[in-house]
Structure 1
Amino acid sequence: MSSGTANQRPRTRISAWRPAVAGITEVFHAHFTDHAYPMHTHDTWDLMILDDGCVDFAVDRRRHGAAGSGTVVLLPPGVPHDGRTVNASGFRKRVLYLDAQVLPGRLAGAAVDVPVHADAALHQRLHQLHNALNAAGDAFEAESRLAFVRERLLAHLGASPRARTSGREAGRLAATLRELLDSSLRTGMTLDEAASLLHAHPTHLIRCFRQTYGLPPHTYLTGRRVERARLLLLTGQRPVDVAMAVGFHDQAHLNRHFKRHLGVPPGRYLAGRSHDQRLPGPQRNGATPPRAT
């Protein structure tokens, strides 16, 4: 390798996509080594987590700096801002462009006053949200995580009312949500749809469910889909057909969750079982099949 190649800076790397999640207009991941954004505005809220490096930026003619992993930057719609690298190593960031309706416009002034937040809990929630967005088909989980990100942002902006309810009422809401999820395994249901049907705030609904059943609703929904897939596979149905029948985005989506729950993908789960064992119907010699454990 020549010395010129060895001293060359890494190239800029970016990826961007629009997820099927209400409230998020774009996901943008980038590693900039030498870049300066000109002054510009967005129609959306710009929510960034800095994974590495330093960035210098101006918001409404006031300059700010952000450095180090764990920093969160929130910029409101319609407010001019720029951004530039500070040193040769550049910076790595993950950005969500949030629809203007996700946060009230009246909070834009508070966001301009304090755009940088050193909040480990918020950073962790955003990291989990990005992971869910990277996993195609996990829209319900992404919606749930976005709801908690929004709640944390509202707290920073001075507007974070949290609903409270009795244990009995929480149990009623959780049980009704579970019924809704069970009845929509194949077709799916968004968190906003469930919250609207139950007349409850999304984060309040999730907390009630976790309080009652010990896990969040998106985890429960995935587990139910895996369990249903397991039963259908044992009848001899193909994994590609099973994936669609239980509400997974595609076979790869089924494979990933099935392996996480059971340790092996669907094909290996059935390996070693005879054809007769997989097919439903009368048993040989009238014998009653053993109950599955």
Structure 2
Amino acid sequence: MTSAGPPRTTISAWTPPVPGITEVFHAHFTDYAYPAHTHDTWDLMILDAGSVDFALDRRRHGITGLDSVLLLPPGVPHDGRTVTETGFRKRVLYLDTSVLPERLSGGAVDHPVLHDAPLRHRIHQLHASLDHPGDAFEAESRLSFVRERLRFHLGTRRPRGPGREANSLAATLRELLDSRITDGISLHEAAALLHAHPTHLIRCFKQTYGLPPHKYLTGKRIDLARRLLLAGRRPADVAADVGFHDQAHLNRHFTRHVGTTPARYAATRTRALW
């Protein structure tokens, strides 16, 4: 009697609450070839194992290793197939044209494989934030830097660094975040309110305060959660009250910041007798 062995294909896909990303797609293919087709979106892929052979606009290419990125433009036919018996594992983001305009397609047709380890790491970090409901502000921030790097590869200008306005812009953003601790705010909304490009806004904030805006906001929520827990509030109620997606979302960030779970933290409180 033979064992069934590992599954030949595993797939997960979802639509995150992040503007510009229409789908997140993770897959492990061991023996697969998909026919020539097109997307209305940009196809941004990184490999976690294996190799892929593909044709784009009737020219064959290959991608392998953990330091490269594949970018396929909208409307251009492409296919793909496994190369080895072990297949490949990939993570894909489908990006709409608000992230990258279709007029940049020519550069991606000519050079779809980008050998850029830092970009690959940024995309990995973006996927990690997309794995957790409630981390949309972080995902937006990471997407903005991925977008900036992709546009550089496609021939646009280098971004400018923070200038003399950095401290003032950062202080205004901090005031905005402080006023929206529980309700939250999207990076797109903050950038529109402050009339600043998202990546420039993040760079100014980090230069001034030493951490990106999404980490600042999380820290403020943790501080508020600590006060509520010590006042006797239940962790499940606290999660909603301070702006986390759910109790699991609070637990993950609280444990990272404080070193214990909200429930254990609350259990240690003592009531002073006067």
Distance 2:269 2:101 in 1: 57
1:146 aligns to 2:158 (yes or no): no
**Which amino acid is the alignment partner of residue 102 of structure 2?**
G
Once the two structures are superposed, the pairs formed by residues 82-101 of structure 1 within 5 Å of their partners are 82-101=79-98
TM-score normalised over the length of structure 2: 0.96
Aligned partner of 1:5 in structure 2 is: 3
Q: Give % identity.
A: 69
Cα gap change, 1:41/1:268 in structure 2, threshold over 3 Å: closer, same or farther?
Answer: same
Cα gap change, 1:127/1:134 in structure 2, threshold over 3 Å: closer, same or farther?
Answer: same
**Which amino acid is the alignment partner of residue 16 of structure 1?**
A
Task: Indicate conservation of the 8 Å contact 1:56/1:64, yes or no.
Answer: yes
Gapped regions of structure 2 (runs ≥ 5): none
Which digits, 9 at most, give the CA deviation of each residue in 1:225-251, with x for residues without a partner? 000110111111111111111110011
Aligned partner of 1:291 in structure 2 is: none
Structure 1 counterpart SS, 2:24: strand
Question: Aligned-pair RMSD on alpha carbons?
Answer: 1.4
Aligned partner of 2:223 in structure 1 is: 227
Once the two structures are superposed, the pairs formed by residues 116-127 of structure 1 within 5 Å of their partners are 116-127=113-124
1:21 aligns to 2:18 (yes or no): yes
Aligned partner of 1:44 in structure 2 is: 41
**Which amino acid is the alignment partner of residue 23 of structure 1?**
G
**Which amino acid is the alignment partner of residue 96 of structure 2?**
D
Distance 2:50 2:163 in 1: 46
Distance 2:26 2:138 in 1: 20
Aligned partner of 1:177 in structure 2 is: 173
Task: Indicate conservation of the 8 Å contact 2:191/2:197, yes or no.
Answer: yes
Aligned partner of 1:59 in structure 2 is: 56
1:200 aligns to 2:219 (yes or no): no
Distance 2:21 2:90 in 1: 17
Distance 1:175 1:13 in 2: 46
Distance 1:203 1:56 in 2: 34
Gapped regions of structure 1 (runs ≥ 5): 278-282, 286-293
Instruction: Return the match for 2:244 from 234, 240, 248.
Output: 248
**Which amino acid is the alignment partner of residue 152 of structure 1?**
R
Say how many residue pairs are matched: 274
Q: 1:284 offset after TM fit, Å? A: 4.4
Q: 1:5 offset after TM fit, Å? A: 3.2
Q: 1:270 offset after TM fit, Å? A: 1.8
Distance 2:6 2:179 in 1: 54
**Which amino acid is the alignment partner of residue 111 of structure 1?**
A
Distance 1:103 1:34 in 2: 32
Q: 1:105 offset after TM fit, Å? A: 1.2
Q: 1:193 offset after TM fit, Å? A: 0.5
Once the two structures are superposed, the pairs formed by residues 72-83 of structure 1 within 5 Å of their partners are 72-83=69-80
Which digits, 9 at most, give the CA deviation of each residue in 1:187-244, with x for residues without a partner? 1100010001111100000000000000111111111100011011111111111111
Structure 1 counterpart SS, 2:62: strand
1:70 aligns to 2:63 (yes or no): no
